[in-house]
Amino acid sequence: MNAKSNWNIPVQTASGHYAVHIGEGFLESTGELISTKTKLHGTCAIITDSKVEPLYAGTVRSSLEQAGFRPILQTIPSGERSKSLEVAESCADAMISGGLDRSSFVVALGGGVVGDLTGFVAGIYFRGIPFVQIPTTVVALVDSSVGGKTGVNAKGGKNLLGVFHQPTLVIADPNTLASLPEREFREGFAEIVKHAVIRDASMLDRITPGRRENLGPLIAENVAIKAAIVEADEREQTGERALLNFGHTIGHAIENAAGYGEWFHGEAVSLGMVAALRISRLFARLPQAEEERVVRLLARLGLPVDFRKAPPTGDLLQAMRSDKKFSEGAIRFVVTQKLGTAQLTSEVDALKIAEALESLR
């Protein structure tokens, strides 16, 4: 382990304190990290997906065994469809057959799908056992592995069934990104741009499109931003955590209106941010140059910025009305008046959204 490229970022929430350990090659030290940084011991389940398993499960499993843990391996099909009650149940059944009890723990090895599902299973198994996150996508490294939002999709919508369950430890190894397909790699940068817009405009200059090496510093910055927001508002009660929805109101509407799977989440969020920036310029006095600065960066990152490719405005407004983020019909929209800051506003109604979207077509 190279001391210069490791980070240890604490996350302190009302329901638990944990650390995010970031370092190249940490996957090989999984067992050692869990045994030295936590009190976990004994039997555990590694839950991973069909694409990640052949790449990294062997390394994680043997590291756990060497440290004296007794892991079972459960592999789910890769993809969003695995975030379901059926797959959660099959994992729980495998854990029961494997002899896991209330003193056991679970390891989530994969992207946001594996992390959300595994955290959910851990949260309800024997009314809650600990879990460790080992994120392997950009989205999971910079966003979903931190914060304790876990869950699965219901037939009626995404992420509707879940529990807050914070991980006991997060082991983040940037080397896992080397195997990520190009489109999956790119989409994760939408969440990084989002963090920059709402919290730290200077980060916009530290994002280097296309580069996969030495991403540790950027991952660490993003984890620190996410951690600070989660610490301030773990259960999304004060409005602070809701700022993480910048670009997501319209992003989710695009995913939904186009049919899930058509757009990757990060791609839809990129267009959602293009729209939120325009809304911010028209109705929250964001300077035009700041809007253009972010849109230019999204384009350089290979993310979609041309709103003419999005579904029709009427379909988007319809999809927005069924979004759980719309509290009782009133839209709590996230805008930025100045890059690096964000605010929730109830001033942005459907008419203003429609006007902004039309100005982008």
Ligand X SMILES: NC(=O)c1ccc[n+]([C@@H]2O[C@H](COP(=O)([O-])OP(=O)(O)OC[C@H]3O[C@@H](n4cnc5c(N)ncnc54)[C@H](O)[C@@H]3O)[C@@H](O)[C@H]2O)c1
Can you tell me which of 11, 76, 92, 116 binds ligand X, judged by CB under 6 A? 116
Is 137 a binding residue for ligand X by CB under 6 A? The answer is yes
Return the number of the residue (144 or 313) whose C-beta is nearest ligand X: 144
Interacting span for ligand X (CB under 6 A) from 57-65, 176-184, 299-307, 348-356: 176-184
Q: What is the 3-state secondary structure (H, E, C) of the chain?
A: CCHHHCEEEEEEECCEEEEEEECCCHHHHHHHHHHHHCCCCCEEEEEEECCCHHHHHHHHHHHHHHCCCEEEEEEECCCHHHCCHHHHHHHHHHHHHCCCCCCCEEEEEECHHHHHHHHHHHHHHHHCCCEEEEECCHHHHHHHCCCCEEEEEECCEEEEEEEECCCCEEEECHHHHHHCCHHHHHHCHHHHHHHHHHHCHHHHHHCCCCCCCCCHHHHHHHHHHHHHHHHHCCCCCCCCHHHHHCCHHHHHHHHHHHCCCCCCHHHHHHHHHHHHHHHHHHHHCCCHHHHHHHHHHHHHCCCCCCHHHCCCHHHHHHHHHCCCCCECCECCEEECCCCCCCEEECCCCHHHHHHHHHHCC
Return the number of the residue (246 or 283) whose C-beta is nearest ligand X: 246
252 is catalytic: yes
CB of 353 to ligand X, least distance (A): 23
User: How many residues in the shown chain lie near ligand X by CB under 6 A?
Assistant: 28
CB of 303 to ligand X, least distance (A): 14
Is 112 a binding residue for ligand X by CB under 6 A? The answer is yes
Site for ligand X in 68-107 (CB under 6 A): 78-80, 83
Is 159 a binding residue for ligand X by CB under 6 A? The answer is yes
Q: Which residue is nearest to ligand X (CB)?
A: 112
Interacting span for ligand X (CB under 6 A) from 49-57, 67-75, 91-99, 207-215: 49-57
Binding residues vs ligand X (CB under 6 A) = 49, 51-52, 55, 78-80, 83, 110-114, 116, 136-137, 139-140, 143-144, 147, 149, 159, 176, 179-180, 184, 265
